[in-house]
């Protein structure tokens, strides 16, 4: 077997790395971003994308495939970002410096040299060079100013010097030696691990791969007082004892790889890759929950300890065959394990590695069981007359299969069912935009289906289970036969809450920090309702069996929950009636918009989704001012390309709440006829340029402002993915920076996607978002019906 080919490729390594890093920076309030006293987290998804783009740039330099700077043909501005060809290439290198906190993290070699370029190369240039900024450095107790290239700008001169810098670097013996040594060290470690695994597999014929991640988290209010390096020191002190505690709870180990790494948020993570003699998938959630309880009890001096099933992460973001049971005859599974798990374990250190500023320590440790070379001997089973041990709740739920119709909404009133389907579209798209799996949106919808079934169904969740044995514990058959549709929904939610320990935490974050407003949860008065609701699903002890009499108590609990919902609904009757009225208005809006888009999509169209922003030198605009400007801009823009080809548009106002004046943006989908095809890749850039020219020349006149000579207006129009949660409308993943979607008049499938997903998402969206602080007469906008 050629093991070298099984070393993970950079694009897949960054794919896993990207999904391990939180998506916080872009969601931070601008006032917090600019607050120098606010302690930021260490690394963000945006950072990973910049590092990935830069590694590709260095490879392109080496292969000679970087676009030649001399082709820019820039005459006046000397800014490469105004050139349509270079925007998607060099824009990727721009970043805000505060999203890279490298205090306890060492990034890759290419990134180290990029930092040198930003600093050392800039020192030699005149201070008035475009793209140069002054940075305050603290060293040896004194502060000094030093100039460097601004990471958030890429002027022509910087691109030219950056290319030359890395071209010269390819010839630098010191860089070549460092690069080759690092590459060879990684390859040697990975190939040694591959050979050891082949040896182990040849002895045991079959093994089980289990990945567990143990996070040691600092709570927010203590993070200000306890630097991360102190947490590293504490974990290093406890590391041997922590690992011994883990090893005692994991049965039949053959070899264990452990890695101490940053969790890129508020703490550290001990990642463990176990190669076991025997195990099964049913035990994975059980062992994670059991291990978390044991570590919390033993190491209570940490603020929080979280154990998550790393196999689930690998199956979702890597390959489902890379973990679990594999044998000597399953070569594909072995290769997937080597590629997605083993090679990633070692190679990621050359991209991002945990360090301590003053202490040297080993990030990776490998442990072999004393008897790992002894093959497993299978003795024939001894007959026993003992009664088999009852299965614990986690095992029972794992074996239980819910019927396909458990989440069917046919039993509900049509109006309620329609609302649930609309909510599902919105929740999935909202979660996708926040960087969470779309499955979270699916489960949010399931929660609402359960609530509606609970409120509209008078039948109990569970029918009575009869048994002469007072110690009869629930089994799969009991759950299957006793549960009504409501009961099956209940157990499905219990299983979801149990398998994903961070589910409640993530939904809490979406509701409290990201502005998610589900039909039942998200408003201030319903936060307690959400907490009381999810408490009904997380109070189980999953590693113990459950008596059949518990079903009676569960029926009582659900009756109480139903009463609690009805009581809460009665106390906010006026608000609920307003919400119902608002939903009715949105239903009429959807019907009107569907009729409108039937006309628009009667011909071949290209759809673009854009975000429109505007502000003045005095700050944010009021929505009424912004609305006047955009309306007049669209009227005037139709006289020239690209709006000359515009057939119609729909959009909605967005408000970003800050401590000062709220900032408004417009989220708009534009539909152009197919005559725009020659300029597909420059449509948004042309719109952006026209929007800025319009604001610069017309804004003062249109707003009829007095004493406005010193006020300047500026803005931006940027592309967005049409819908992240719908295949076929999510074009940015298929081709780099391709945000336009072709909708042919004869393509019924594509038109159905637009009708069933895009229209509801826009027309109902303000139902699921907090009300604007300014009076906004028209939340939803659309163009006039096109002339026939």
Q: 350 falls in which pLDDT band (50, 70, 90)?
A: very high
pLDDT tens digits, residue range 242-254?
999 999 888 888 9
Average pLDDT, whole number, for the chain?
A: 83
Average pLDDT over residues 511-538: 77
- Specify whether the CB–CB gap between 434 and 510 falls below 8 A: yes
Higher pLDDT, 721 or 65: 721
Q: Please say if the pLDDT value at position 80 is more than 50.
A: no
Task: State residue 380 phi and psi, 5-degree precision.
Answer: -65, 145
Q: Please say if the pLDDT value at position 502 is more than 80.
A: no
CA distance 788 to 779: 28
Long-range Cβ contacts of 331-334 (<8 Å, 24+ apart): 331/1, 334/197, 334/201
Q: Please say if the pLDDT value at position 135 is more than 70.
A: yes
The pLDDT of residue 688: 92
Average pLDDT over residues 560-583: 82
Q: What are the residues facing 148 on neighbouring strands? A: 133
pLDDT tens digits, residue range 184-193?
999 999 999 9
CA distance 642 to 638: 8
Q: Please say if the pLDDT value at position 83 is more than 60.
A: no
CA distance 280 to 394: 13
Q: In this structure, how many other beta carbons lie within 10 angstroms of the beta carbon of residue 206?
A: 14
Q: Please say if the pLDDT value at position 78 is more than 50.
A: no
* Tally of CA atoms within 13 A in the half-sphere of 345 that contains its CB: 29
Instruction: Please give the helix or strand (H or E) that residue 217 lies within, else none.
Output: strand 206-217
Hey, what are 141's tokens? Answer: 């107790």
The pLDDT of residue 775: 80
Cβ contacts of 110 within 8 Å, gap of 6 or more: 54, 55, 58
Q: 217 falls in which pLDDT band (50, 70, 90)?
A: confident
- Specify whether the CB–CB gap between 308 and 502 falls below 8 A: yes
- Specify whether the CB–CB gap between 266 and 217 falls below 8 A: yes
Sign of CA dihedral 318, 319, 325, 330: negative
Q: Please say if the pLDDT value at position 100 is more than 80.
A: no
- Specify whether the CB–CB gap between 455 and 563 falls below 8 A: no
Q: 465 falls in which pLDDT band (50, 70, 90)?
A: confident
Q: Please say if the pLDDT value at position 291 is more than 60.
A: yes
What is the DSSP pairing of strand 663-673 with strand 646-656? antiparallel
The pLDDT of residue 608: 93
Hey, what are 650's tokens? Answer: 């729909």
Residue 725: strand, helix, or coil: coil
Query: Of 701, 688, 750, 730, whose CA–CA distance to 81 is shortest?
Result: 688
Residue 727: strand, helix, or coil: coil
Q: Determine what percent of the chain is predicted with pLDDT higher than 90.
A: 30
Hey, what are 333's tokens? Answer: 């599974």
CA 559, chain centre distance (Å): 36
The pLDDT of residue 124: 84
The pLDDT of residue 630: 93
Q: 469 falls in which pLDDT band (50, 70, 90)?
A: low
- As a whole number of Å, the CA-based R_g of the chain is 29
| Residue labelled with tokens 């991209």 | 351
Average pLDDT over residues 146-156: 86
CA distance 122 to 119: 5
Q: Please say if the pLDDT value at position 648 is more than 80.
A: yes
Choice among 134-138, 298-302, 349-353, 375-379 with the minimum mean pLDDT? 375-379
Hey, what are 128's tokens? Answer: 């008035």
CA distance 570 to 486: 23
The pLDDT of residue 30: 59
Q: Please say if the pLDDT value at position 762 is more than 60.
A: yes
The pLDDT of residue 592: 92
Q: If phi over 0 gives left and psi between -120 and 50 gives alpha, with beta otherwise, what is residue 646?
A: beta
CA distance 60 to 92: 14
Query: Of 757, 730, 763, 780, whose CA–CA distance to 421 is shortest?
Result: 757
The pLDDT of residue 759: 93
Give the CA angle between residues 591, 595, 599 to the nearest 5°: 160
Choice among 131-145, 295-309, 602-616 with the minimum mean pLDDT? 131-145
Sign of CA dihedral 334, 339, 340, 345: positive
Burial of 149 (0-12, 13-18, 19+ CB in 10 A): buried
Give the CA angle between residues 435, 436, 440 to the nearest 5°: 155
Cβ contacts of 586 within 8 Å, gap of 6 or more: 763, 764, 766, 767
Sign of CA dihedral 695, 697, 699, 705: positive
Task: State residue 462 phi and psi, 5-degree precision.
Answer: -135, 135
Q: 72 falls in which pLDDT band (50, 70, 90)?
A: very low
The pLDDT of residue 222: 46
Q: Please say if the pLDDT value at position 651 is more than 90.
A: yes
The pLDDT of residue 209: 94
Average pLDDT over residues 721-746: 79
Higher pLDDT, 378 or 175: 175
CA distance 575 to 425: 24
- Specify whether the CB–CB gap between 715 and 616 falls below 8 A: no
Choice among 61-75, 78-92, 239-253, 483-497 with the minimum mean pLDDT? 78-92
Higher pLDDT, 559 or 82: 559
Q: Please say if the pLDDT value at position 739 is more than 70.
A: yes
Average pLDDT over residues 745-764: 91
Higher pLDDT, 341 or 288: 341
Q: 79 falls in which pLDDT band (50, 70, 90)?
A: very low
Q: Please say if the pLDDT value at position 577 is more than 50.
A: yes
- Specify whether the CB–CB gap between 597 and 754 falls below 8 A: yes
CA distance 122 to 93: 17
pLDDT tens digits, residue range 8-36?
999 999 999 988 887 666 656 655 666 66
The pLDDT of residue 432: 87
Task: State residue 555 phi and psi, 5-degree precision.
Answer: -60, -45
Q: Please say if the pLDDT value at position 221 is more than 50.
A: no
Hey, what are 268's tokens? Answer: 């550290």
Q: What are the residues facing 613 on neighbouring strands? A: 665, 716
CA distance 124 to 347: 36
Q: Please say if the pLDDT value at position 778 is more than 60.
A: yes
DSSP alpha helix (H) spans, 106-227:
109-116, 122-123, 156-169, 173-204, 220-223
Residues 745-780: b if buried by 16+ CB within 10 A, e if exposed = eeeeebbebbbebbbbbbbbbbbbbeebeeebeebb
CA distance 461 to 555: 6
CA distance 85 to 682: 9
| Residue labelled with tokens 């002190």 | 237
Average pLDDT over residues 281-295: 85
Long-range Cβ contacts of 718-721 (<8 Å, 24+ apart): 718/610, 718/611, 718/613, 718/684, 718/688, 719/608, 719/609, 719/610, 719/611, 719/684, 720/609, 720/610, 720/611, 720/667, 721/609
Burial of 539 (0-12, 13-18, 19+ CB in 10 A): exposed
Q: 450 falls in which pLDDT band (50, 70, 90)?
A: very high
Residue 729: strand, helix, or coil: coil
The pLDDT of residue 445: 92
Q: 709 falls in which pLDDT band (50, 70, 90)?
A: low
- Specify whether the CB–CB gap between 449 and 423 falls below 8 A: no
Q: 706 falls in which pLDDT band (50, 70, 90)?
A: low
Burial of 387 (0-12, 13-18, 19+ CB in 10 A): exposed
Residues 586-614: b if buried by 16+ CB within 10 A, e if exposed = bbebbeebeebbeebbeebbbbbbbbbbb
Residues 548-571: b if buried by 16+ CB within 10 A, e if exposed = bebbeebbebbeebbeebeebeee
Residues 37-75: b if buried by 16+ CB within 10 A, e if exposed = eeebbbbbbbbbebbbbbbbbbeebeeeebbebeebeee
Average pLDDT over residues 734-755: 83
Choice among 27-36, 182-191, 291-300, 638-647 with the minimum mean pLDDT? 27-36
Q: 732 falls in which pLDDT band (50, 70, 90)?
A: low
Query: Of 351, 442, 323, 332, whose CA–CA distance to 15 is shortest?
Result: 351
The pLDDT of residue 660: 66
CA distance 663 to 217: 34
Hey, what are 367's tokens? Answer: 């442990």
């Amino acid at each position: 077997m050629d093991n070298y080919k099984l070393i993970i490729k950079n694009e897949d390594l960054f794919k896993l790395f990207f999904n391990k890093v939180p998506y916080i920076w872009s969601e931070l309030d601008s006032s917090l971003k600019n607050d120098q006293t606010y302690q930021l987290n260490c690394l963000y998804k945006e950072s990973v994308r910049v590092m990935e783009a830069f590694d590709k740039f260095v490879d392109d330099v080496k292969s000679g495939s970087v676009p030649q700077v001399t082709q820019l043909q820039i005459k006046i501005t000397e800014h490469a970002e105004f050139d349509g060809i270079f925007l998607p290439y060099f824009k990727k290198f721009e970043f805000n410096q505060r999203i890279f906190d490298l205090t306890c993290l060492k990034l890759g070699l290419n990134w180290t040299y990029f930092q040198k370029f930003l600093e050392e190369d800039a020192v030699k240039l005149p201070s008035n060079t475009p793209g140069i900024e002054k940075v305050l450095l603290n060293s040896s107790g004194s502060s000094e100013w030093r100039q460097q290239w601004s990471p958030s700008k890429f002027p022509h001169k910087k691109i030219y010097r950056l290319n030359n810098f890395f071209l010269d670097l390819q010839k630098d013996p010191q860089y070549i030696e460092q690069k080759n040594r690092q590459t060879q060290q990684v390859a040697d470690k990975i190939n040694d691990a591959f050979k050891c695994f082949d040896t182990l597999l040849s002895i045991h014929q079959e093994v089980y791969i289990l990945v567990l991640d143990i996070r040691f988290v600092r709570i927010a209010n203590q993070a200000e007082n306890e630097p991360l390096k102190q947490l590293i020191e504490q974990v290093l002190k406890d590391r041997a004892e922590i690992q011994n505690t883990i090893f005692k709870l994991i049965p039949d180990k053959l070899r264990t790889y452990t890695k101490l790494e940053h969790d890129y948020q508020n703490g550290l993570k001990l990642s463990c890759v176990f190669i076991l003699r025997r195990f099964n998938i049913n035990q994975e959630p059980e062992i994670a929950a059991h291990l978390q309880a044991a570590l919390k009890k033993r190491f209570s001096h940490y603020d929080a300890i979280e154990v998550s099933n790393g196999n689930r992460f690998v199956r979702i973001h890597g390959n489902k065959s890379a973990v679990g049971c594999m044998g000597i005859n399953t070569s594909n599974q072995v290769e997937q394990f080597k590629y997605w798990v083993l090679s990633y374990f070692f190679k990621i250190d050359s991209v991002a590695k945990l360090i301590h500023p003053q202490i040297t320590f080993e990030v990776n440790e490998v442990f072999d069981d004393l008897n790992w070379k002894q093959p497993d001997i299978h003795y024939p089973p001894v007959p026993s007359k003992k009664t088999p041990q009852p299965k614990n709740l986690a095992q029972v739920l794992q074996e239980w299969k819910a019927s396909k119709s458990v989440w069917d909404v046919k039993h509900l009133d049509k109006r309620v069912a329609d609302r649930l389907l609309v909510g599902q579209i919105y929740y999935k798209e909202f979660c996708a935009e926040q960087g969470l799996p779309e499955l979270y949106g699916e489960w949010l919808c399931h929660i609402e289906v359960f609530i509606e079934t609970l409120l509209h169904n008078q039948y109990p969740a569970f029918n009575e289970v009869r048994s002469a044995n007072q110690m009869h514990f629930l089994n799969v058959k009991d759950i299957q036969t006793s549960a009504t549709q409501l009961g099956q929904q209940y157990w499905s939610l219990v299983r979801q809450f149990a398998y994903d320990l961070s589910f409640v935490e993530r939904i809490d974050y979406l509701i409290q920090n990201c502005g998610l407003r589900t039909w039942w949860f998200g408003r201030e008065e319903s936060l307690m309702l959400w907490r009381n609701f999810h408490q009904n699903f997380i109070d189980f002890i999953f590693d113990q069996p459950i008596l059949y009499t518990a079903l009676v108590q569960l029926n009582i609990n659900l009756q109480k929950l139903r009463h609690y919902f009805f009581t809460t609904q009665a106390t906010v009757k006026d608000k609920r009636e307003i919400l119902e009225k608002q939903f009715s208005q949105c239903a009429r809006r959807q019907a009107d918009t569907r009729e409108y888009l039937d006309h628009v999509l009667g011909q071949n169209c290209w759809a673009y989704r854009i975000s429109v922003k505007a502000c003045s030198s005095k700050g944010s605009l009021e929505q009424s001012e912004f609305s006047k400007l955009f309306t007049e801009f669209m009227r005037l823009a139709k006289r020239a390309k690209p709006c000359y080809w515009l057939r119609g548009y729909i959009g909605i106002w967005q408000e970003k709440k800050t401590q000062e004046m709220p900032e408004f943006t417009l989220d708009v989908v534009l539909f152009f006829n197919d005559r725009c095809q020659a300029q597909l890749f420059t449509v948004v850039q042309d719109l952006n340029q026209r929007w800025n020219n319009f604001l610069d020349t017309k804004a003062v006149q249109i707003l009829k402002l007095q004493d406005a000579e010193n006020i300047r207006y500026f803005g931006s129009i940027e592309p967005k993915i049409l819908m992240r949660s719908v295949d076929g409308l999510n074009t940015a993943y298929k081709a780099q920076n391709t945000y336009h979607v072709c909708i042919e008049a004869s393509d019924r499938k594509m038109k159905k996607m637009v009708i069933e997903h895009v229209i509801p998402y826009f027309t109902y969206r303000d139902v699921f978002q907090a009300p604007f602080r300014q009076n906004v007469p028209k939340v939803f906008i659309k163009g006039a019906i096109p002339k026939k």
